[in-house]
Amino acid sequence: MGEKAKIILSEHEYEADVVVGTEGEKGIDVIHLRRDTRNVVLDPGFVNTASCSSAITFIDGEKGILRYRGYPIEQLAEKSSFLEVCWLLMKGELPNTAELEEFTEEITTHTMLHESVREFYAGFPRDAHPMAILASVVCSLSAFYQGDVGNPEDITYRNSLRLLAKLPTIAAWAYKKSIGQPFMYPRNDLGYSENFLYMMFGVPAEDFEIVPEMVDVLNSLLIIHADHEQNCSTSTVRLVRSSMANLFASITSGICALWGHRHGGANQRVVEMLQNIQKDGGNAKKYIEMAKDKKSGFRLMGFGHRVYKNFDPRAKIIKEKCHDFLKAIDCKDPLLDVAIELEEAALNDDYFKERNLYPNVDFYSGIIYRAMGIPVPAFTVMFALGRLPGWIAHAIELNADPKNKIGRPRQIYTGSTERDFVDIENR
């Protein structure tokens, strides 16, 4: 017999199984709690509720551990390519040479968008937020691939390839729309990251120069963002997919969930904060003191993390990449000077050290995107490019689970009790 947990209610005791994961994580299985006791668990934000079992990503927030399918993020960021990680998340194992070559070729041959999709961009205002364009165009792909035939697994895989291939094109065209430049069609002779940078920054009038350091840091950023278990956007993808919505609609829901500043938009808030500090004279130490004063109303963006209570392992990776990249391209951005001063001030302050408030991945990624020339509103789009394979992997995993159910959270009702309708003349 496995371990049991007892929930003591006024009426009686409820005994539940304790579920143990492969890394020793424990959870109390309350699937029949309401059926047997008429009680539910109230957990706003689901901070203590496991909505599923998953074999994709493991996080230990106290120890600063992040692993995809068992592989430490440090090793993947150093040794693998983004498409290798995509395959790993989707398939469960690292690809061999033949598998990676075939996968890469399949992705490469799907990068083009239907010409009718190009016409959609004409309908968006020039100042449309790139996340609005990204979500709209991804959802519209449902209309272009609604006639696929085959078993559901094959259709999902084909649509996964299409999404991985086309999202960089969709994102780059959103940027080109915002600055009034011609759209750049994808090039099949370029790698995944190189092709995206070409579509973003290339122009028809001149040759495009690939900067190796930019390709390297982009590959690392995509990898460290590829999955993060049951975060807001991933949970949203799984919830929408549980209704058996198509993959394009499910991924669109993840894009929309990612948009908010509490999630994927956090790196944008970092840069906006740095801009405000710069406008105020660039005195980073002043804002460090304000962050420690609860009465100031100022919150230091890009420090600490909801899950990681020690350090964010992704931030450790990208911090080094950030400094190397800035040095390699000889970046002379005053805003980045403010960021570096703020980072040093916080890392040497006892208040922050005692509370383990270290710079997180959003702090460094925002700095890198700015140095790359990515406009601030598109930062969250970059996050979406990286997170896509994780979303796909979770959608696939949910469908493969024979016990999957449509998501249907409960609530505790706090509204009016029963009352009679009153005719309008008597109200």
**305 part of the active site:** yes
Give one DSSP letter per residue of 70-108, joined into a string: TEEHHHHHHH--HHHHHHHHHHSS---HHHHHHHHHHHH
Of 362, 394, 420, 423, catalytic:
362
- Distance separating alpha carbons of residues 90 and 395, to the nearest angstrom: 9
- Distance separating alpha carbons of residues 181 and 162, to the nearest angstrom: 25
- Which of 335, 332, 358, 334 has the alpha carbon at shortest distance from 345? 358
- Distance separating alpha carbons of residues 59 and 311, to the nearest angstrom: 12
**129 part of the active site:** no
Give one DSSP letter per residue of 238-269, joined into a string: HHHHTTT--HHHHHHHHHHHHTSTTTTTHHHH
Residues in the chain: 427
- Distance separating alpha carbons of residues 76 and 83, to the nearest angstrom: 11
Of 225, 228, 305, 394, catalytic:
305
- Which of 178, 198, 177 has the alpha carbon at shortest distance from 187? 198
Residue 162 · residue 155 · CB < 8 Å: no
Catalytic residues: 305, 362
